[in-house]
Amino acid sequence: MNQAKTLGQFIIEKQADLPYAKGELSRLLRDIGIAAKIVNREVNKAGLMDILGHANAVNIQGEEQQKLDVFANEQFISALTSGGECCIVASEENEDIIYLNSPSGGNAKYIVAIDPLDGSSNIDVNVAVGSIFSIYRKIDINAPAGLADVCQKGSAQVAAGYVIYGSSTMLVYTTGKGVNGVTLDPSIGEFCLSHPNMQIPVEGRIYSINEGNYVHFPQGVKRFIKYCQEEDTASDRPYISRYIGSMVADLHRNLIKGGIFIYPVTANAPSGKLRLVYECNPMAFIIEQAGGRATDGKQRILDIEVSQLHQRSPIFIGSKNMVITAENFMQSENELVKEVSIPEQPVLDYTYFPD
């Protein structure tokens, strides 16, 4: 039996797909992998050490922080600082961007946006949680790094991924050339290639939404839920309702089995609840690269202009045909969504970066 390729080996093998990166992006992904291993170690100690429960603090979102939120945030920032390839970190847990290694980020070329521990409220009850990351390149290497470098549209991402801490620990990522998954082998302490060229089924039978908020949903979402629940043998309905409450866990399942994840606007969250920079954009990039679709109900997530660091957005994401059907329920009958091809990842001009 051939030994599985490690994450490092696989990235080096795929280096030709990223001729402009010259190894920096590979090292950046390695640094993220190191932080994920440390967070995984602590997650697996939950219940044995004093790492469960509240940290007696709230983040910029006004949400009560868990102890593991704080720990995971510190670990990712520390790993990215030590690696030296990142000039700015933007975290869901921090009000402002964080410059690494110098007040302007130094000569590093990359920006990382992170949700250090998605679904952390589930950690006390031993439910899968995750980390989400998004990577951009500086807009202009000759200018100081700043907020504009973080607030690029999702279509400008050069890489994105998530780590799921579940029955096994898995890192799923894209660099705009498809989606690959690596699983942590605890016997050697390395992520090894386990799911090459991941593809989400075009059709699915799972819908993931917090139906406890049903009365606050738009009418289009209510109609779509009823559609999912109706019996129709021709379209293999009723569908299956599955909702974990951790975006990483819900989307990981749907990526493998096929399905749709919806977090719409509600009466209490008229702009949506999930963060565009830290959650929606990276997950949309991954799902699109796996053959799926991600919109806010009207437009492609990756085309949304980013005006604020902690901007929120509704999201409809998953199997392409399921998302189109949900979008159609959000439109009037004479404004049905047409199937459109997802634009290819743009070929960007990086000639101003020195060798």
Determine the Cα–Cα distance for residues 260 and 209; give it in Å rounded to an integer: 9
- Give the Cα separation of 240 and 250 in Å (integer): 13
Neighbours of 338 (CB within 10 A): 7
- Phi (first) and psi of residue 249, to 5 degrees: -65, -45
Residue 233: helix, strand or coil by DSSP?
A: helix
Which helix H or strand E contains 191, and what residues bound it? strand 190-195
- CA-to-CA distance for 14 and 102, rounded, in angstroms? 31
User: Closest Cα partner for 134 from 1, 5, 295, 302?
Assistant: 302
Domains of the chain: 7-195 (3.30.540.10), 206-335 (3.40.190.80)
Residue ranges of the annotated binding site for Mg(2+) are 92, 115, 117-118, 279
Q: Which residues are annotated as a binding site for substrate?
A: 118-121, 210, 243, 273
Please give the full DSSP string across 98-114, using - where no structure is assigned.
Answer: EE-SSTT-TT--EEEEE
- CA pair distance 203, 259, nearest whole angstrom: 7
Q: Tell me what pLDDT residue 135 has.
A: 97
Annotated binding-site ranges = 92, 115, 117-121, 210, 243, 273, 279
Q: Are 190 and 184 in contact (CB under 8 A)?
A: yes
Find where tokens 């404004």 sit. 335
> Is there a contact between 143 and 105 (Cβ–Cβ < 8 Å)?
no
**Side-chain-facing half-sphere of 287: CA atoms under 13 Å:** 36
pLDDT on residue 316: 98
What is the per-residue pLDDT for 355? 31
Whole-number Cα distances in Å, 35 to 39, 66, 140, 191, 194: 6, 18, 28, 12, 20
Residue 318: exposure state from Cβ atoms within 10 A (0-12, 13-18, ≥19): buried
Using alpha carbons only, give the angle 62, 66, 67 rounded to the nearest 5 degrees: 135
CA dihedral 12, 16, 22, 25 (to 10 degrees): -60
DSSP-assigned states of every residue in 34-81: HHHHHHHHHHTTBTTBS--SEEEEE-TTSPEEEHHHHHHHHHHHHHHH
Profile the chain (355 residues) by mean pLDDT over runs of 10 residues: 76 70 80 94 68 52 72 94 93 94 77 92 81 95 91 97 94 95 94 96 97 93 96 93 95 98 92 96 98 96 97 98 96 48 46 33
The whole-angstrom separation of Cα 48 and Cα 323 is 41
Q: Report angle CA 195, 198, 203 to the nearest 5 degrees.
A: 135
